Amino acid sequence: MGMIELRTPAEIEEMRPAGRFVASVLEATAAAAGVGVNLLELDALAHELIRKAGAESCYIDYHPSFGASPFGKVICTSVNDAVLHGLPFDYRLRDGDLLSLDFAASVNGWVSDSALSIVVGTPRDGDLRLIDTTQRALEAGIAAARVGNRIGEISRAIGDIAKAAGYAVNTDFGGHGVGRTMHGDPHVANSGRPGRGLPLKPGLVIAIEPWFLETTDRIFTDPDGWTLRSADGSRGAHSEHTIAITDGDPIVLTQRD
């Protein structure tokens, strides 16, 4: 594990504009996502909002070890059996599509990262249940993000919600530290044991991001080199907030209206 950075209360205040901006872009792109709308149009909308705000994309030049090439777009659009890192492409949304939007940006040198899932047009009950489970798991994870607990308490809270709903949990990709860059330590797995991992201290800023697939915990990388899809074609959903741990309640920096 690399260095864990704790932020001062003043720095957490400085992070709020990034959180508000990221929340606003997710709201705008989710509102724009309708039947017949192209994923590239959603990316163009996010790009324009970044430009207007004088913000910086965390994705466009992003090239980690698991990515085939720099991402090249500014928002992740994962549809149906895609759940993470969905690279926007020339695809028009269809009635009943399950769309996950994941967005991170830097404002004044501070990053926030957040995600949500929606159904375009007519929803299927299974999709609504899957989305609701990720949202409840996110809330449970945030509730466990308190001084005196460890990362393991957050992980267990998320995993318990998933398992109670009958979903398996993949721990390859999960939450992470957030600060001047998008991904830092610690890793926050979506399942785990209490009493394990880093002790939570005031000033720790992390993204918590439950994502579940309907009938598997196995994923593979699409030929685009980025998009992660379920191994069995079942659908996925994803919910994420950037939060700051304090002496009291955690602050949800990416809270949407």
pLDDT higher than threshold 90 for residue 94: yes
Q: What is the pLDDT of residue 22?
A: 98
CATH of 9-252, one of 3.40.1130.10, 3.40.50.1820, 3.30.450.20, 3.90.230.10: 3.90.230.10
Instruction: Summarize the confidence of residues 129-151 as an average pLDDT.
Output: 98
The pLDDT score that the predictor gives to residue 144 is 98
Q: Which two tokens stand for residue 10?
A: 């003043």
- Residues marked as binding for a divalent metal cation? 102, 113, 176, 209, 240
CB 33 within 8 A of CB 93: yes
Specify the pLDDT at position 154.
98
Supply 103's token pair: 């967005």
Q: Which residue has the higher pLDDT, 2 or 15?
A: 15
% of the chain exceeding 70 in pLDDT: 99
Read off the pLDDT of residues 206-215 as tens digits, 9 standing for 90 and up: 999 999 999 9
> At 2, is the pLDDT very low, low, confident or very high (cuts 50, 70, 90)?
low
Q: Which residue shows structure tokens 């017949």? A: 36
Per-residue confidence (pLDDT) for residue 98, from 0 to 100: 98
- CA angle in degrees (0–180, nearest 5) for 109-114-118: 150
pLDDT of residue 3: 82
Which residues does 48 contact at the CB level (< 8 Å), separation at least 6? Answer: none
The pLDDT assigned to 41 comes to 98
Q: From the annotation, which residues make up the binding site for substrate?
A: 85, 183
CA–CA distance, 196 with 209 (Å, rounded to integer): 18
Confidence (pLDDT) at 1: 55
pLDDT the model gives residue 57: 97
Q: Is the pLDDT of residue 63 over 60?
A: yes
pLDDT digits (tens, 9 = 90+) for 166-220: 999 999 999 999 999 999 999 999 999 999 999 999 999 999 999 999 999 999 9
pLDDT at 74: 98
41-53 residue pLDDT tens: 999 999 999 999 9
| Collapsed DSSP state (helix, strand, coil) of residue 31 | helix
Check whether 36 has a pLDDT greater than 80.
yes
Strands 241-244 and 110-119: unpaired
Mean pLDDT of 126-152: 98
Tell me the whole-structure pTM to 2 decimals: 0.97
Output the known binding site.
Answer: 85, 102, 113, 176, 183, 209, 240
Average pLDDT over all residues of the chain:
97
pLDDT at 111: 98
The whole-number pLDDT of residue 66 equals: 84
DSSP state of 224: T
